[in-house]
Amino acid sequence: MNRTLAIVKPDAVAAGRAGQIIAQLESAGLRPRAVRMLTMTRAQARSFYEVHRDRPFYDSLVAFMTSGPCIPIVLEAPGAVGRLRRAIGATDPAEAAPGTVRRLHAESKERNAIHGSDSDPNARREIGFFFAECEVPDGGRG
Ligand code: UDP
Ligand code: MG
């Protein structure tokens, strides 16, 4: 059993799709372990997406991610990171497989409904970014 981080992004929350998306993750075998709802500050979004700071889409991504409330969720499953990435689909919804969260719910490559950690080390970092030790004892584990 290990853990990963999903974020239901501001586009999906604003569109009233958070419940459907969380249900879809549960159907994919991912069990919610901790949940929050918050609006990221610019500093938080810049830090969370630090790895993309030199990419042309960085400023726009930060503006999008701070545009309204989002829902970070710690998910637990065997092979949690890969399981979530398969459930959410490719970054661009036009390239996402049928039935994936992004294919069903995303508007564009930027406004793509959901985040998923891309590796176990990044899952641990991202869980620690949003959740305190008392909320997820032993952090990301996996
Ligand atoms: N993004 C974008 N344009 C791009 C690539 C990415 O706006 O050409 C945004 C999109 O919201 C994406 C996020 O930046 O989810 C992080 O990009 P990454 O390449 O890590 O994609 P992901 O891991 O989310 O599939
Ligand atoms: Mg990524």
Answering whether pTM is above 0.95, one says: yes
| Residue 128 backbone dihedrals phi, psi, to 5 degrees | -65, -25
Alpha helices in 4-135 (DSSP H): 10-14, 18-27, 42-48, 58-65, 80-88, 101-105, 120-130
Q: Which two tokens stand for residue 31?
A: 């069990």
* Residue-by-residue pLDDT tens, the chain, 142 positions: 799 999 999 999 999 999 999 999 999 999 999 999 999 999 999 999 999 999 999 999 999 999 999 999 999 999 999 999 999 999 999 999 999 999 999 999 999 999 999 999 999 999 999 999 889 987 655 4
pLDDT digits (tens, 9 = 90+) for 121-137: 999 999 999 999 889 98
Residue 105 annotated to the active site: no
Closest ligand 1 atom, residue 60 Cα: 7
| Residue 55 backbone dihedrals phi, psi, to 5 degrees | -85, 150
Query: Using a 6 Å cutoff on CB, does residue 118 contact ligand 1?
Result: yes
